[in-house]
Amino acid sequence: MEYLENRELSWLKFNKRVIEEAVDANNPLLERLSFSAIYQSNLDEFFMVRVGSLTDDEKENNKKTDSKSGMTPSQQLDSIFTAVRRLQPKVEDAFRKNMEELAAYGYEHVSFANATAEEQAFLELYFKREIKPFITGILVNDSLPFPFLKNKELYAAVHISSQKGAIVGIIPVAHEHSERIIPLGRDGKRFILHEEVVLQFAHLMFKGCKIRDRAIIRVTRNADIMVNNKGADFRERMEELVVKRTKLAAVRLEITNEFNRVALDYICKKLKIKNVRVFNSNIPLDLSYLFRLQELDQSPELHFESRLPRKSAMLAENRSVFTQVKSRDILLSYPFESMTTSFIRLLEESAADPKVTSIKITLYRLARNSKVISALCTAAEHGKEVLVMIELRARFDEANNIEWSKILQKAGVKVIYGPKEFKAHSKLLLIKRKSTGDKFDYITQIGTGNYNEKTAALYTDLMLLTADREIAEDAEQVFDSLLKGTFVENTNKLLVSPYALLPQVLEMMDEQIELAKNGGKGYIAAKVNSLNDKSIIAKLVEASQAGVKIELLVRGICCIIPGVEGYTENITVRSIVGRFLEHSRIFIFGRDGMEQKIYIGSADFMSRNTIRRVEVAAPVEDEKLKKRIRDMFRTMMSDNVKARELQSSGRYVRVEAKEGEAPLNSQEYFYEEAYRRLEAKAVRQERMKEVRAKKQTAKTTAKKTRKSTKKTNK
């Protein structure tokens, strides 16, 4: 179909938008370099997961075709490799240009050839004393075993002269005492990379051998593991799988510069990898060190303007969060508002509150020093019933979650895991508190992002706190089903996948289709990270054909192409890639008014979320909060600084301000708004103090007057 896009190629277009930020002159210089590192990190994960999965599909059933592109796994892989190679010159140019500009601030990435004679002597001594004693060079040929190359680790590879055929030397670059950046000046801005020094002196690792060629190599391995939650030893099996994943098959080999073809073919043979999976790079293979460079110079022009999350204007400091939520629903917006002074505060207050009897929560990804875990452990130690569903299959966080589960259990928390074959990705909290007599009050929290203090300062997310009893009943039902290993089928208000989310979303879309068919103005809007669910795409096409106006904010994968005549001409798709990672999910059905339905939740419009995970979305029913979300969505759709619009050709084009239109960066706007809301709250509080003071003065004056009158009368 001409209005459908392949999932993998759509994701690569998203990463192209990331690298575009590395060449955007409106971004500070060191931040531009960070986008280069983010691009590379994203691509690493893409190869580990998506290319790994397609590689497995290619081996198992290469005749299977992708429904959105008609390509087999082999054809998809070929398209991926071609697209990645086409992007590489752009990646290298961005890196070089930014590093050249940094020279004006004293930064210089020195090659050994460009180092001074004094520096070269220092580096040779440094290699002999600080590096060589901790690493080992391994010779390999057909009679010698090939070493295991760890995922994403750097190695120096050398081609050694031999009459017996190819002999390759492999040197692991990193060791526990190594520093990636070796400073050549006091401020650290003039530097050389650790692997470049190892490569320069690789011949000292193989005495008596003649080195013909040398290069840095890096292997990316398949990380696509999945295990069903079956049996009591699930955590132990997950621990085994985390270790096993490090030894899965190689799916990519990266290499710097040119390298002897015979030696390279030999390495590929030993890795069991085809030459089409070899990618050359003329810049460092691991750009993560660029984040370290940010610490070396605090010049304001090199960094984004410092932004700190504000306290929520909806929360007062002198009353408990629980009490405030009882009186009205509260919406929190990260990173513009602080998680610590809102959600963490609620957890800590609940842990200490003697009237709180139980806390139930789902956990997916957590910060390294998690205050969430600390509060839950405190609650359990205070005798409260604490139930935690922690998802051990959260990709690349499996080891962390395994350790957190042990800590929670040790503190007396009841720990359960996601249901078998389905990850629990929901962001759900339920707190139960004694009220009067035998009655209880409930607070339910439903969010779009993880309970993670670190990412809450980097990702845009929303969180709803409500005392709605029907939502609490639904939340209780979700936790009961997680305990039993079953799924929620019917709810009062919450949308809960895999059974009670997709049908309701499609039904609400149908309502807008019927409205349009009957002469009304149907409207559907959504903000998601990704869109590839077949049934949702089909329904969006049907809605567009019926005349429903559809606005989509899709950060990453988008498998529907808008503007295709006869199919998607009423659909607009925009993507925002900026300083913060767009992560919130919003669903809107209907135009402004009482009939409009708005939801926020954890689910994207992807089949993995709608039919293969436990996800939760909640209705936003307070009219003020609905207006706030509508305004947020409109602001993002009006972004003319960081937004791109998807064209009918499949290309993304940056949205630019029209003549006379002011630039609008939605993320910066929301930060400014958070500042303004808090300032306005402070002004209101000062005015209230003044009013109270005047009332008190008037009261005192009246009292004195009455006393004076009484004396006069006497």
Active site residues: 425
Give me 373's structure tokens.
Answer: 């875990």
What whole-number distance in Å separates Cα of residue 677 and Cα of residue 311? 10
Closest CA to 50 of 23, 81, 22: 81
List own/partner pairs for 650-653 with CB under 8 A and 24 or more apart. Answer: 650/5, 650/13, 650/561, 652/13, 652/16, 652/17, 652/575
Q: In what helix (H) or strand (E) does residue 16 lie, and over which residues does it extend? A: helix 7-21
Q: In what helix (H) or strand (E) does residue 696 lie, and over which residues does it extend? A: helix 666-713
What whole-number distance in Å separates Cα of residue 322 and Cα of residue 352? 12
Question: Which residues face 171 on adjacent strands?
Answer: 156
Closest CA to 448 of 550, 598, 557, 601: 601
Residue 706's SS3 state is helix
Give the DSSP letter string of 603-638. --BSHHHHTSEE-EEEE---HHHHHHHHHHHHHHHT
Closest CA to 527 of 638, 427, 633: 633
Closest CA to 550 of 510, 523, 590, 514: 523
Question: Which residues face 158 on adjacent strands?
Answer: 169, 214
Question: Which residues face 337 on adjacent strands?
Answer: 310
DSSP state of 64: -
Cis status of the peptide bond prior to 498, with omega within 30 of 0: yes
Closest CA to 54 of 69, 70, 74, 84: 74
Give the DSSP letter string of 386-455. EEEEE-TTSTT-HHHHHHHHHHHHHTT-EEE-PPTTSEE---EEEEEEE-STT-EEEEEEEESS-S-TTG
Backbone φ, ψ for residue 408 (5° rounding): -65, -45
Helix axes 398-410, 234-245, angle to 10 degrees: 150
Backbone φ, ψ for residue 150 (5° rounding): -70, 150
What whole-number distance in Å separates Cα of residue 548 and Cα of residue 523? 5
Rg of the chain in Å (alpha carbons): 29
Residue 233's SS3 state is coil
For 393, half-sphere exposure in the C-beta direction (CA atoms, 13 angstrom radius) is: 21
What whole-number distance in Å separates Cα of residue 324 and Cα of residue 667? 28
Residue 328's SS3 state is coil
